[in-house]
């Protein structure tokens, strides 16, 4: 996504018989039921296609081309869905992104009104360098449920499920957050691992975390997965995510983490009048507001992510002589279900063209 980003500036088939669906007074299918019953697995196709298209450009050193390929594929698939979707988290604002821009309508308009958040290629550099961790990811929610955020930076703190509400807070120091988390987990701070993007801007946060005795795991890119790792700390070893990254990635990560009961708090960094204006145009009236996970992604949310390069969250796309393999994870908030889908796509020509 980042190739076009300037943070410093401004039918699918109706599978369910009509009588089993819920109709509003106007006779419209209610978004929540539609998302629940039909669309969850359709999102898999969308991220699979984006991931395969980007994966063809793995390691080629061209971030923009890989991102463009993912965008094209994702947009094509989204427009096949029976939804009346609006991109609220996209490739950028209209003047800087020709496709999947914030405000773009997607879907064939025959279905419910939904919010769409996309990052067709999260970790463009990782893909261009064929490094671990790039994914194609999107979220869908009832219209008006996802935070409309401009493409600016965002402060983020996230922990997995099972902790008391409000345990960590952006206004507490990293030391206080690590100590609170360690106490709640029943361990010494030295047994806590914090995941942080490896950026000069995080030097003080990293030093503060280490002062508590906790470990810091640094990643070069990809904080959507970084936040999601906190949900499975038993496997990933990551207890907490702290730091500043993209706001679009923050909303996508929140959508996934909410599905499994984690906690996240964020605050947009609106440090210029121009950014505040852009945010205000999207409905952000209080620039200093802290957003809880429910305020970032409310209602019934579905998130799908497919691996582009191999990573700790997902395997990357494998190109065999006759088969293309993909791995996708789908989160659904209504039930907390997490589905992992390994797909073998047998007919190459169909896979590319249909």
Ligand X SMILES: O=P(O)(O)OC[C@H]1O[C@](O)(COP(=O)(O)O)[C@@H](O)[C@@H]1O
2 near ligand X, judged by CB under 6 A: yes
Distance CA 228, CA 106 (A): 26
Helices within the chain (DSSP H only): 31-34, 40-55, 63-78, 124-128, 174-185, 203-211, 223-228, 233-236, 247-259, 273-281, 293-296, 348-353
Distance CA 105, CA 111 (A): 12
Longest dimension (CA), the chain: 60
93 near ligand X, judged by CB under 6 A: no
223 near ligand X, judged by CB under 6 A: yes
132 near ligand X, judged by CB under 6 A: no
Distance CA 178, CA 172 (A): 10
Helices within 29-185 (DSSP H only): 31-34, 40-55, 63-78, 124-128, 174-185
Determine the interface stretch with ligand X among 106-114, 122-130, 171-179, 265-273 (rule: CB under 6 A): 122-130
Residue among 206 and 224 whose Cβ is closer to ligand X:
224
From the list 86, 124, 236, 309, which residue makes contact with ligand X (rule: CB under 6 A)? Answer: 124
Size of the site for ligand X (CB under 6 A): 17
- As measured in angstroms, the least distance from the Cβ of 300 to ligand X is 25
Residue with tokens 């076009």: 4
Residue among 185 and 278 whose Cβ is closer to ligand X:
278
- As measured in angstroms, the least distance from the Cβ of 34 to ligand X is 29
Residue among 267 and 345 whose Cβ is closer to ligand X:
267
Residue among 197 and 260 whose Cβ is closer to ligand X:
197
Residues contacting residue 44 through CB under 8 Å, at least 6 positions apart:
304, 306, 328, 330, 341, 343
Determine the interface stretch with ligand X among 15-23, 101-109, 116-124, 275-283 (rule: CB under 6 A): 116-124
Determine the interface stretch with ligand X among 83-91, 101-109, 157-165, 222-230 (rule: CB under 6 A): 222-230
Neighbours of 348 (CB within 10 A): 14
Site for ligand X in 229-258 (CB under 6 A): 245-246, 249
Residue among 87 and 197 whose Cβ is closer to ligand X:
197
Residue among 84 and 122 whose Cβ is closer to ligand X:
122
Closest CA to 307 of 153, 133, 107: 133
1 near ligand X, judged by CB under 6 A: yes
328 forms bridges with which residues in the sheet?
A: 306, 341
- As measured in angstroms, the least distance from the Cβ of 253 to ligand X is 9
- As measured in angstroms, the least distance from the Cβ of 200 to ligand X is 10
199 near ligand X, judged by CB under 6 A: yes
Render the burial of 297-326: b for 16+ CB within 10 Å, e for the rest: bbbbbbbbbbbbbbbbbbebbeeeeeebbb
Residue among 9 and 80 whose Cβ is closer to ligand X:
9
- As measured in angstroms, the least distance from the Cβ of 125 to ligand X is 6
Q: Please state, in angstroms and as integers, the Cα–Cα distance from residue 33 to each residue in 64, 143, 178, 179, following that order.
A: 37, 13, 39, 42
From the list 125, 173, 176, 315, which residue makes contact with ligand X (rule: CB under 6 A)? Answer: 125
68 near ligand X, judged by CB under 6 A: no
Residue among 111 and 226 whose Cβ is closer to ligand X:
226
From the list 123, 262, 311, 316, which residue makes contact with ligand X (rule: CB under 6 A)? Answer: 123
What is the DSSP-derived secondary structure letter of residue 28? P
Residue among 114 and 194 whose Cβ is closer to ligand X:
194
Q: Which two tokens stand for residue 242?
A: 């702290």
Q: Which two tokens stand for residue 156?
A: 């983020």
Distance CA 219, CA 262 (A): 21
From the list 77, 91, 142, 221, which residue makes contact with ligand X (rule: CB under 6 A)? Answer: 221
- Binding residues (CB under 6 A) for ligand X: these are 1-2, 5, 121-125, 197, 199, 221-224, 245-246, 249
């Amino acid at each position: 996504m980042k190739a076009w980003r300037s943070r410093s500036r401004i039918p699918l088939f109706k599978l369910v018989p009509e009588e089993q669906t819920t109709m509003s007074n106007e006779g419209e299918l209610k978004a929540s039921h539609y998302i629940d019953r039909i669309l969850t697995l359709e999102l898999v196709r969308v991220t699979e296609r984006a991931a395969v298209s980007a994966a063809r450009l793995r390691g080629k050193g061209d971030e923009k081309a890989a991102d463009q390929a993912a965008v094209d594929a994702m947009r094509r698939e989204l427009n096949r869905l029976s939804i009346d979707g609006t991109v609220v988290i996209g490739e950028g604002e209209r003047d800087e992104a020709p496709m999947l821009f914030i405000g773009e309508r997607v879907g064939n308009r025959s279905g419910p009104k939904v919010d769409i958040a996309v990052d067709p290629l999260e970790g463009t550099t990782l893909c261009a360098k064929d490094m671990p961790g790039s994914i194609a990811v999107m979220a869908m929610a009832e219209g008006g449920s996802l935070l409309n955020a401009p493409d600016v930076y965002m402060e983020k703190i996230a922990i997995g499920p099972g902790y008391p509400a409000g345990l960590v807070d952006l206004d507490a120091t990293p030391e206080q957050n690590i100590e609170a988390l360690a106490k709640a987990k029943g361990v010494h701070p030295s047994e806590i691992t914090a995941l942080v993007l490896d950026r000069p801007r995080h030097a003080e946060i990293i030093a503060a975390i280490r002062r508590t005795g906790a470990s810091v795991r640094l990643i070069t890119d990809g904080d959507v997965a970084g936040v999601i790792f906190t949900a499975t700390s038993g496997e990933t070893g990551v207890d907490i995510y702290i730091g500043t990254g993209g706001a679009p990635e923050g909303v996508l990560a929140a959508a996934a983490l909410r599905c499994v009961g984690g906690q996240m708090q964020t605050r947009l960094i609106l440090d210029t009048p121009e950014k505040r204006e852009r945010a205000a145009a999207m409905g952000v009236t209080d620039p200093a507001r802290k957003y809880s996970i429910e305020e970032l992604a409310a209602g019934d949310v579905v998130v799908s992510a497919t691996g582009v390069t191999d990573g700790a969250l997902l395997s990357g796309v494998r190109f065999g002589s006759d088969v293309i393999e993909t791995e996708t994870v789908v989160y659904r908030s209504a039930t907390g279900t997490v589905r992992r889908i390994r797909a073998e796509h047998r007919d190459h020509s169909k896979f590319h063209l249909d």
